[in-house]
Structure 1
Amino acid sequence: MRVVKTLAALALLVALLAGVPAMLIAWGDPSALLRVDWRRALVQPASKELVVALCSVAGWLAWALLAVTAIVETVMAMSRGRVHIHLPGIGWLQPAVGGLVAMVMAPALSSTAAEPAPPAPAHAPAVVEHQISPTITAHPFVPPAGLRAYVVRPGDELWAVAEQELGSGGSWRTILRSNPGMTADTVLTPGNTILLPSTPPVQASAAPDSSGHVTVRRGDTLWDLAEQHLGDAHRWPELFQANRDQISDPDEIDIGWRLSIPGAADTTQPRDTGLGQGDKVSATPTPSAPPPVGGTNQPTTLAPTVSPTLPPDTTPRTSPLAIPVMTDATPRATNQPSNGATGNATPVTTTEDPQWSDDVLGPVGGVLAASLFAGVIARRRVQLLQRGVGRRAATLAPEIQRFFAALVQRSHVAPELQPNAQPTSVIIGWRDEEEVRIDLEPRRCTLVEGSPEDTAALAATIITSLMCAPWSSMAEVVTVEPQEEWVLALDDPRLSSEMHLEEALTRLQRLCAQRRMAMGRSNLASLRADPDVAGSWPPVVFVFCHGLLPAHVDHVRDCLSLGEVGVSVVAPLAHGTTSNGDPRAVHVLSTSVARLGGTDDTFEPQLLNQPARRAVVSLFTSSLDDRTEPAPWWRDGDLPPHVTVPPTTAEEPIKDDAMPAWSPLPDHPTLLVLGPVELRGCHGERPGRAVGQCMEYCAWLLLNPGATASTMVRELLVAEGTRRSNTSRLRSWLGRNTEGVSYLPDAYSGRITLDPSVSSDWEQFQLLLAGGVNVASSPLLREALSLVRGRPLEGVTFQWPWVAQWVSDMESMITDAAAVLADRCLTEQDLEGAHWAIDQGQLATGDDETLEIRRIHALALSGERAELDRAVMDMTRVARAENRDLAPETIQRIQHALHLSMTRHAHS
C-alpha cells in the first residue's frame, strides 16, 4: 500500500511539474500579447487569442509558484527539518505540496535513517533529530561515540528534556552543542531522535605540562579548567583570552585541544583548592556515579572520598540538633547533605553546575529582576495566609529555587527608580552602565529586527517589564501567539492574549477605531487628565511574539494611523525581513549587541531567553498554586503503641517564670535566627568586616552539613575567592572549644562540616516539637514559642537569596505551634495564655489570619464587643486590600465568635 501511495504521489508531481508546462507549450501562446492593440482591446470584447494568451501567462506563473514550492519542500525534507525556508506567498500551497513530497521522499529518508550513522569526529557530533520509522528494526540508529539517542515524546521541550535526562534544566545548552543546527527555539517533534551526552564518569583534566599547556578531555569546560588550574572558576575569561587562536566560542572546546594555562609554566606549586586554611583533598579524584539508565531525575550517589577523617563507608557527621521534625519516607542518597529546615525538604543536589544562574538569567538587569522578585513575594505571601494549620505551602522545585535566588541577588544592583517614568516605558538594555529606555506609546509601532530567538527574547522582556514594573501598573498588555502561558502564570486582569494572528489584527483595528470615534474632538492627554474618564483610557500595548511579514506590518501601521489613541505595538519582524530604515526600530544584532534605528550607537540588550522565560512562568505559576502538602512538623497518623501523649490540660495553670529562659551566653556558638540574626557564644574575635556573610555561611552550613566547596559556591552565588575568605573569617570567629578543637574544622576530606556543638535556636525549636506540633504538650509549646524574638531572619531576608523556603517553613511552623497552644488555652478559658501564644506567633508572622481569628475568639470569650468588632473589621479590610477572600474556616469562626459575644452579652 505504501508503494502504491508513493507511486501515485510521484505520478501527480511529475504531471504537475512536467505535464503542465508541456500543455502550456502545446496550447498556449503568450507571444500573442505582443501583437495586441491594447487601445482597442480595452474597449472591445476580448478575442480568442487574447484570452488564450492571458490564460497562458497565468498558467506559467502558477506553475512557477508550484515549482518553487516543490523545491523548497524537497530541500526541507532532505535536511529533515534542519533547513527552514520561509518565502512569502507560498504558505497556502505548502501543506499540499509538502504532503506529496513527503510521500515521494519517504522511502529514501527511511533507508537513510535505518543505516548506522558514520562515526563523527570527537570535536563535532553532527546528528540532529533523526526520524525513526516504526517499521525499521533491522538496522537501528547508532549514535556517535560519547552520545546517546533520545526519542522525543509529546510535550517535550529543551528545558524539560535537560531536566529529566541530564539532571538540570540549565543544561539545555549541552543539548544544543550535541545537535548542530538546533537552536533554542527549535520545536521538538514527537517521534524524532536527538542526541544527548552519554554522561560518562567525569575525569579530572590532566595537569599542565612543563610548557604550561593542558589537554582537553571529555566533559571539560573553561569554567572547570579555570577552577582546577587557576584556583577560581570565575577566571575562565583569562583562559579564553590566552587561547583565542583556537577558541572562537567559549561554550565549545574540543577534545584533544592543548590549551595554554596563564602562568602555569612559571610555577610548580599545587593549585589552591579553595577549601579554607589547611583544607586538602585526596589525591585521587572522586568520580560521580553516572545517572541511572532511563534518565530519571534522582539525586546522584557520590563515591565517598578517602581521607583520615571520613572513612569510605560513612556519611558526613551531622549536628545532633539538626534533626528532621518528622521522618521522611523517601530514602536519601548516600552522602547526601540533608536540609535541616524541614524534615522532608528537597535535598541539596550534588550536580556541579556553578554557571546555572548565569546561564538561565542571562542579560537580565537589576530593575527587571527586582520587579519579578516583588511580584513573586506578594503572591507567596497570599499562599502562606491561605494555608491551613498543619499544612505547608507547596515547595518550589530546586531549579526554580535557584532561579529565584539568582533574581534576589541580581535585584540588589537595581538602581533607583525614575519618578517620572511613563507607564509604557521599558528598559531594553544598557550603554556604558546607563539604562537604554524607550517609551512605547509615543513610538506607536516599535519594530524589532533580528534572529527569531533574539526578537522573542526581547518581546518577553517587554511583557514582563510592563506587567511587573511598578511604574507600569496602569498599562494593559495583549500578547499575540505567545509560546509561554503568560496569562495563566501572571493571572493579572491587565494581561490578555490572542492565539491567532488574524484575530489579533482584527482586535487591534477594532480597538483603534473605537477609541478614535469615542475621542471626538478631544485628545488623549485631556481625557486622561479627567479623573472621571481616565480609567477608560489606559495604555494598551500589543506584543507580537512571532515575526511579522511585510503585509502584516502594513496592516498594523494602517491601524495605528488613526492618531494617538493610547494603543502601541511591539512587532518582531520575520527572519529576513528588514525595517527599511525605520528610526523607531530596534535592531538586535546579537545577544550582546543591539542598536536603535536611526543611530549607529550600540548597547547591550536585555533579553529574556527561552530557559529564563520558562523559569519565570514556572515561578509565577507555582506562586499561584493553592495546593498544600502535609507539614513535616504535624502528626496526622496514629502514634506508635509505645508512645503516650501527655494531657493537654493541667491541674494548675503554668506560670511563665517556670519556663527555662534561653541563655544569653551559651557555652558553644549558637546562631539565633528566630528574630534579628545574632551569633552568640563564639570563642574567637568578631571579624572587622563581612560579619553578615559569616553568619550567612554559618546558617547555610547548619542546614547543609557535609557540603562541598563547589556546592557552597553554587548555592550561595558567590565567587570561590569570596567563599574562601569568609569561611576563614567564620573559622576564626567561632574559635575552638575547651579541648582545642576548632568549631569549623579544616575540610581535609573535601566536606565542610561544623562541630556538632554548634547549633541554632531554630534547631532547638524543632527539637522541642520533634514528635509533632499537634501532639506536643503545652509546656513544650510554650517553651518553644518563648524562643521567638521577631520575624525569622529579620533584617537579612533580602540579603540572603537562598532562604525563601526556609523562612516560609519557619513562619508556618511557629504559626501552627501558636495556634495549637491558643486553641488549648481557649478551651481551658485561659485567655491570658491564649493572648500570649497569639502574640508570640505574630512576632514571627505579623497579622496572620490563622492567629488573628483566634484573637477574635478570645475577645468574644472576654466579652469585649468593641474590640471584637474592630478586629473583625480590620481583618476584612486587610483581605480586601490584598485582593483575596477570607478562608471558609475563618468566616465560620468569625460568625461563631459574633454569636458567642451576643449570647454572653444577653446573659449578662
Structure 2
Amino acid sequence: MTRLRAIGAALALVLIVVAAPLALLVWGVPVTRVGNLLRPDDGSALLAVLTVLGWLAWAAFTASVVIEAINVVARRAVPLRLPMLGGLQAIAGALVFAALSPSGPAVAASPAVSAVAAVADEVARNADTEAPAEVAGYLVRPGDDLWSIAEQVLGEGRLWHQLADANPDLLANPTVDLTPGTRLVLPSGPEPSHHQVARSHTVTVKRGDTLSGLAEKHLGDADKWPRIYRANDDRIDDPDLIDIGWKLVIPASSKASAPQQQRPPRKPVTTVDAPTIEQPTPSSEATPAASTTATPVVSASSVAQQSAEPQPEAPSTSASSDPAWPLLGGLGAAAAAMILTGVGLARAGQLRARPLGRRIAHPPVDVRRYETALGRRERPDSPELLEKALRHLGAHAHETGRTLPRLDRVLLDDVGVAFHWAQPVGEPPAPFQRAGSAWVLSARSAARLSDSAHPVPFPALVTLGRAQSGAWLMVDLESSPPLSLSGSRSLRHAAAAAMAVELSCSPWAAELCLTVVGGDEMFVRAACSELVRFTGDAEVALDALQAVANERSDDESPTALLRVDPDRAEAGAAHVVLIVDQPTEQQRARIDELLDRDLGISGVVAGAGAWTLTIDGTEESATATLDAGDLPIVPQLIPAHTRAAIGTIFAATDPGAHQPSGWWVEQASDNVRTLVPRRTDRLSVDEHRPDDPDRPYLRLFGPIDLIGAAGPQPARSRRQCEEYCAWLLENPNSTATRMTSELVVAETTRRSNMSRLRSWLGHDRDGQPYLPEAYSGRISLHPEVGSDWQRMQTLIAPGLNRLTAETLVDVLELVRGAPLADAAPGQWRWAEELRTDMASVARDAGVLLTRWAIDHRDLDLARWAAARALLAAPEDELLLVERIHTEHLAGNTGEVERLVRWVTSQARVLGVDLAPETIDACQQVMEGRTRPRAAR
C-alpha cells in the first residue's frame, strides 16, 4: 500500500509540474493574441485570462513543491512556509512526502522534476544504512500530538516535556494536534552502536497476538505497544482489536535485543499457512467420547485459513493482556454473553413490573465491575452462531428422519463452529462444509441462515475450556459415559458453576432439565434460572432421574428423533445432572446405570471415570486435561469471588426488587392536573428542535452523540471517548485508578482515550480546557460540560409528580429514543443503572402527562406523550394501557383493538402475566365492563 501511494504521488507531481505547463502551451491563449479589445469578443479574451490564471497556479504549486522538497531533505524542525499559500503548500507537502517515502520509486525525469528525482534517489540509497527515526527525528503524521509521540518514541507519554524542550519554537500543549509533515528534533542521547540498530520490518498477525505481545517480542518491552500502534494507525482503529492475517509494521528499535529465534513466543500461536490441528485422543469402546479415527481435528479457523477467509482476532484469555482476567478468570466469551443475556431478560422483567415512581434495584458499585468485565469478555455472536448451527442440524435431522451420529467434540471460535463426529459421516447440509470428519459452518455462512425456533439436537452441549488452537472446546454430555470431574473441591465447584450457568442461560435452555447436586448453592439459586433444580442430596436427584428413565423405557421412539420433532420435542427433552461432590460407590454405580444417551439422560459426576476432565492448579491459574492427559486445555472456571459477584447481580434482578426513587415525592399533592401545558408547537415528535449548544453537550437519549465540542473529532475510538465523557459526568472528581477499575480497561488504553477526549472537547472562550489535566489526582470535567440526562435531572428535581404539565413536556422533549440506543456490545456495561433510571423517568413522565391530557380531553397531547415515552421504554405495559384509554376516548375502535391484541400477544411471547389493572382496562374497552369476579 505504501509503495502504491508513493507511485501515485510521484505521478501526480509529474502531471502537475510537467504536464500542466505543456497543456497551457498547447491549448492556452497568450494575451498578445487577444486582438483589438474594441471588437466583439469571440471567447479569446476569457481563454487568455484563464491561461494567465493557470500559469500563476502552476508557478505557485511548483514553488511549493520545491520548498517542501527542501524541508524534507533538510529535515527542518520548523519547515519553510510561503505566505498566502498555506493550503496549496500543504497539498504539495503531502504529495512530496508520499513520493519520497523509502518504498516509493525514484521518479525519472525531466528538468522540471530533477530536484524531486534527486531526493528520491538519495532516500532510496540511504534506506538500508540510515539511522532509525529515533536518531534522525520524527515526522509528524495526521492526529499526532506531543503525548502520543512521546509514547511512541520515548516509551511514556509523560515524557512529552523532553520533546517540548527540544523544539521550543514549535510546541506548547501536549494534547494539541501537530501539523502533519513537520519533522521534530528528538531529545539528544547516546548514539547507538551498529549492532544495536534494528531496522523496521513487518510481521503477520497470528492467533493470540496482541500489540503488547508483539512489542514484548520485537521491541523488548510490552509497554512499547504504542509505537507499533502509531506505526500502523492507517490500519488499526482500536489498539485492543487486531485481525489475524494483518501485515503490521514493527518500528525500528534503538535498544539491543536478543535474536528473534532465541526469544520464546508470548503464547503458542498458529502459523498462517497451516491449518490448526489437534491430535485426537486414542479411543476405545470404554471411552466413546474420543475419536475412533486418526483424522486430525480441525477448527473453523483452519478451514478459513486454507480458503484465505479473513479471520478476526480471538478474544484474549491471558492474564497479562486481558484487564477482565482478575475479575473473571478463564470464563469464556460465549458463557459471558449467555450470563449477560440472562441478566438482561431478568432486568427487563423488573422494568416491566416496576410500579409508578419506583426504581429497580442494582448491585453495589464494587460488584458492577464484574458486569462491566462480563461485557468486555462477551462475544454475543458466538452463542448466536452456535444456536443457528444447532437449530439447522436439528431441522436437517427432522427432515431426513435420521438421527445424527454421536458427537466427539465441538470447536467454536469467531470464525465458525466445527462439529467433529465420533463415527464416519456423509455430506453435511448446506451451508455446512465437510473438513475430514468434521462439519464446519463459518460465521459468514451462518449469517445467511434465517432465524429458526427448531429444537436443537444437542441441548446438553457444554464448554470445558479453551484448546491450544485458541478455539473453545465443547462436548455433548449425552454422547459419552458420564463426564467425570477430577480436582480439588474448589476447582470442581468453579468448573461446575460455569457449566451450570452456561446450560441454564443458553438460548436453548428451555429444551433441557438441569439438576445440580452440591456445589455453590447460593450461586446456583441466584444465577441459574428458576427451572434449574438444586439439591444437596444425590439420592433425591437419582430418584427423579429413575422416574424419567422408567417413563422413557416404555416408549420405543428414539429420543434423538423425538427431540428434533417440533410437535414431540418435550418428550425428548434432555435431563442433565451435575453432581459436584464425590458420590458414594453405591451412588456411582447407580449413576452409571441411569445415565443413558438413548433415554436423553446425561451428567457430570465428581471423581474419576472412563471419561475424565482433570483440573490442576488454582482458580486464578488452572490447567486441565481431558481423556487421561491426552488433550490439554485451559479450563472454563468461575472463581469463588466471581460466583459471589454474579450471584449478587442476579439477586438484584428479582422482579420484586424495587426501591424508592429520587425523582418521586411520596404522598405529594397531585397538582399535575391543575396547569395548562404549552400547545401545538410542542406536540410533534417530528418537529423536535435539535440541540445546538455552544458548549460540549452529550446526548444519551437515543443515539449517543457528543455535540458542541471545541476541538476536532478523533479519527478513531470516538465511541470510547463518548463513553469516558459519560462516566466522568456521572463520577465527577474521581481518580484514574477508579476509572480504570470500573471501566475494566488497560491503563494505557485509558490514557490514550483520555488524550483523544481532551483534544476533542477543546477549550472554552477563556482558554480553559473542558477536560483539565488531573494534577491533583482528581479528574473532573469543566462545569459547562453537560448532558441531556443532567438537564432532565434538573427539571425533575422538585419531584416528577409535583411538576406542571408544561414541565413534563420539557422533560419528554429530551427523549430522542431509548437510552444509550446505539451502545456497542461490550461497552457501557457500567451504565446499566444509568440506563434503567433514564428509561424509568421517561416512562413515569409519559404516564403522568398522558393521564393529565386524558383528564383534560387533550387527545393530541396524550398521544404525543405516550409515543415519546415509548421511545425510551418500548412496549411498556402502563404506557400501552394509557394509549388504549386515549384511543377509546377518541372512539377509534380499530386502534383500540390493535393495541389490545398487541398487549396480550406481547405477554404471551414473553411468557408473563398481565397486571390486573391491564386486564380490567382491556375488558372495559372491548366489552364495555369488567367481568364479574366471585366474592371472596
Aligned-residue offset at 1:369 = 0.2
Give yes or no for contact 1:482–1:497 (8 Å, CA) kept in 2.
no
1:542-576, Cα deviation, whole Å (9 max, x unpaired): 1102122444322321334x662111120011xxx
Aligned-residue offset at 1:637 = 4.3
Give yes or no for contact 2:485–2:613 (8 Å, CA) kept in 1.
yes
Q: Does 1:431 align with 2:431?
A: no
Aligned-residue offset at 1:469 = 1.5
Q: Secondary structure, in 3 states, of the residue corresponding to 1:803? A: helix
Aligned pair partner of 2:675 in 649, 653, 658: 649
Amino acid in structure 1 at the alignment position of 2:599: V
Q: Does 1:805 align with 2:833?
A: yes
Normalising to structure 2: TM-score of the pair?
A: 0.55
Q: Which residue of 2 aligns with 1:879?
A: 907
State the alpha-carbon separation in 2 of the partners of residues 652 and 397 from structure 1: 41
Give yes or no for contact 2:535–2:541 (8 Å, CA) kept in 1.
yes
Q: Which residue of 1 aligns with 2:718?
A: 691
State the alpha-carbon separation in 2 of the partners of residues 369 and 490 from structure 1: 12
Q: Which residue of 1 aligns with 2:261?
A: none
Aligned pair partner of 1:405 in 367, 372, 383: 372
State the alpha-carbon separation in 2 of the partners of residues 866 and 758 from structure 1: 47
Q: Secondary structure, in 3 states, of the residue corresponding to 2:714? A: coil
State the alpha-carbon separation in 2 of the partners of residues 394 and 657 from structure 1: 33
Question: Which consecutive residues of structure 2, in runs of 5 or more, have no partner in the other structure?
Answer: 1-154, 158-215, 227-320, 391-457, 931-936
Instruction: Tell me: CA distance 1:442–1:563, structure 2 relative to 1, closer, same or farther (3 Å).
Output: closer
Q: Which residue of 1 aligns with 2:497?
A: 460
Aligned-residue offset at 1:900 = 6.2
Instruction: Tell me: CA distance 1:697–1:528, structure 2 relative to 1, closer, same or farther (3 Å).
Output: closer
Amino acid in structure 2 at the alignment position of 1:382: G
Give yes or no for contact 2:563–2:569 (8 Å, CA) kept in 1.
yes
Matches within 5 A, 1:709-724: 709-724=736-751
Matches within 5 A, 1:510-659: 510-516=547-553, 518-520=554-556, 522-528=557-563, 530-560=565-595, 564-573=598-607, 578-579=608-609, 582=610, 584-591=611-618, 592-637=622-667, 648-650=674-676, 655-656=681-682
Q: Which residue of 2 aligns with 1:116?
A: none
Instruction: Tell me: CA distance 1:523–1:655, structure 2 relative to 1, closer, same or farther (3 Å).
Output: closer
Q: Secondary structure, in 3 states, of the residue corresponding to 1:790? A: coil
Aligned-residue offset at 1:231 = 8.0
Matches within 5 A, 1:691-770: 691-770=718-797
Aligned-residue offset at 1:772 = 1.1
Instruction: Tell me: CA distance 1:897–1:533, structure 2 relative to 1, closer, same or farther (3 Å).
Output: closer
1:124-163, Cα deviation, whole Å (9 max, x unpaired): xxxxxxxxxxxxxxxxxxxxxxxxxxxxxxxxxxxxxxxx
Give yes or no for contact 1:475–1:494 (8 Å, CA) kept in 2.
no
State the alpha-carbon separation in 1 of the partners of residues 860 and 605 from structure 2: 64
Q: Which is further off, 614-623 or 368-377?
A: 614-623
Q: Which is further off, 455-464 or 473-482?
A: 473-482
Instruction: Tell me: CA distance 1:804–1:646, structure 2 relative to 1, closer, same or farther (3 Å).
Output: closer
Matches within 5 A, 1:267-306: none
Give yes or no for contact 1:488–1:621 (8 Å, CA) kept in 2.
no
Give yes or no for contact 1:662–1:787 (8 Å, CA) kept in 2.
no
Q: Which residue of 1 aligns with 2:884?
A: 856
Amino acid in structure 2 at the alignment position of 1:553: R
Give yes or no for contact 2:560–2:572 (8 Å, CA) kept in 1.
no
Q: Secondary structure, in 3 states, of the residue corresponding to 1:802? A: helix
Amino acid in structure 1 at the alignment position of 2:588: V
Question: Which consecutive residues of structure 1, in runs of 5 or more, have no partner in the other structure?
Answer: 1-229, 233-261, 273-353, 903-908
Amino acid in structure 2 at the alignment position of 1:751: R
Matches within 5 A, 1:208-357: none
Q: Secondary structure, in 3 states, of the residue corresponding to 2:652? A: helix
Aligned pair partner of 1:832 in 860, 870, 888: 860
Amino acid in structure 2 at the alignment position of 1:595: T
Larger RCO (alpha carbons 8 Å, 6+ apart): 1
State the alpha-carbon separation in 2 of the partners of residues 897 and 682 from structure 1: 51
Q: Which residue of 1 aligns with 2:385?
A: 417
State the alpha-carbon separation in 2 of the partners of residues 612 and 742 from structure 1: 40
Instruction: Tell me: CA distance 1:460–1:488, structure 2 relative to 1, closer, same or farther (3 Å).
Output: closer
1:800-835, Cα deviation, whole Å (9 max, x unpaired): 221111000000001111111111110000000100
Instruction: Tell me: CA distance 1:596–1:761, structure 2 relative to 1, closer, same or farther (3 Å).
Output: same
State the alpha-carbon separation in 2 of the partners of residues 563 and 707 from structure 1: 56
State the alpha-carbon separation in 1 of the partners of residues 538 and 707 from structure 2: 63
Aligned-residue offset at 1:700 = 0.7
1:438-486, Cα deviation, whole Å (9 max, x unpaired): 1100113111111111112111111111111224441211111343146
Q: Which residue of 2 aligns with 1:367?
A: 334
Aligned-residue offset at 1:874 = 1.1
Give yes or no for contact 2:523–2:646 (8 Å, CA) kept in 1.
no
Give yes or no for contact 2:519–2:580 (8 Å, CA) kept in 1.
yes
State the alpha-carbon separation in 2 of the partners of residues 896 and 774 from structure 1: 27
Aligned-residue offset at 1:356 = 9.6
State the alpha-carbon separation in 2 of the partners of residues 901 and 780 from structure 1: 35
Aligned-residue offset at 1:408 = 1.3
Q: Secondary structure, in 3 states, of the residue corresponding to 1:693? A: helix
Q: Does 1:440 align with 2:477?
A: yes
Give yes or no for contact 1:481–1:499 (8 Å, CA) kept in 2.
yes
Q: Does 1:502 align with 2:539?
A: yes
Amino acid in structure 1 at the alignment position of 2:479: P
Instruction: Tell me: CA distance 1:413–1:789, structure 2 relative to 1, closer, same or farther (3 Å).
Output: closer
Q: Which residue of 2 aligns with 1:35?
A: none
Aligned-residue offset at 1:656 = 2.2
Amino acid in structure 1 at the alignment position of 2:347: R
Instruction: Tell me: CA distance 1:888–1:602, structure 2 relative to 1, closer, same or farther (3 Å).
Output: same
State the alpha-carbon separation in 2 of the partners of residues 355 and 657 from structure 1: 49
Q: Which residue of 2 aligns with 1:112?
A: none
State the alpha-carbon separation in 1 of the partners of residues 322 and 677 from structure 2: 61
Aligned-residue offset at 1:729 = 0.8
Q: Secondary structure, in 3 states, of the residue corresponding to 1:718? A: coil
Amino acid in structure 1 at the alignment position of 2:665: R
Instruction: Tell me: CA distance 1:747–1:832, structure 2 relative to 1, closer, same or farther (3 Å).
Output: same
Instruction: Tell me: CA distance 1:896–1:627, structure 2 relative to 1, closer, same or farther (3 Å).
Output: farther
Aligned-residue offset at 1:861 = 0.4
Instruction: Tell me: CA distance 1:656–1:685, structure 2 relative to 1, closer, same or farther (3 Å).
Output: same
Q: Secondary structure, in 3 states, of the residue corresponding to 2:792? A: helix
Instruction: Tell me: CA distance 1:491–1:449, structure 2 relative to 1, closer, same or farther (3 Å).
Output: closer
Amino acid in structure 2 at the alignment position of 1:621: A
State the alpha-carbon separation in 1 of the partners of residues 326 and 717 from structure 2: 28
State the alpha-carbon separation in 2 of the partners of residues 860 and 508 from structure 1: 54
Q: Does 1:890 align with 2:858?
A: no
Q: Which residue of 1 aligns with 2:14?
A: none
Q: Secondary structure, in 3 states, of the residue corresponding to 1:417? A: helix
Instruction: Tell me: CA distance 1:413–1:539, structure 2 relative to 1, closer, same or farther (3 Å).
Output: closer
Aligned-residue offset at 1:773 = 1.1
Q: Which residue of 1 aligns with 2:344?
A: 377
Instruction: Tell me: CA distance 1:728–1:491, structure 2 relative to 1, closer, same or farther (3 Å).
Output: closer
The alignment's C-alpha RMSD in Å is 3.1
Q: Secondary structure, in 3 states, of the residue corresponding to 1:540? A: strand
Aligned-residue offset at 1:645 = 6.3
Amino acid in structure 2 at the alignment position of 1:594: A
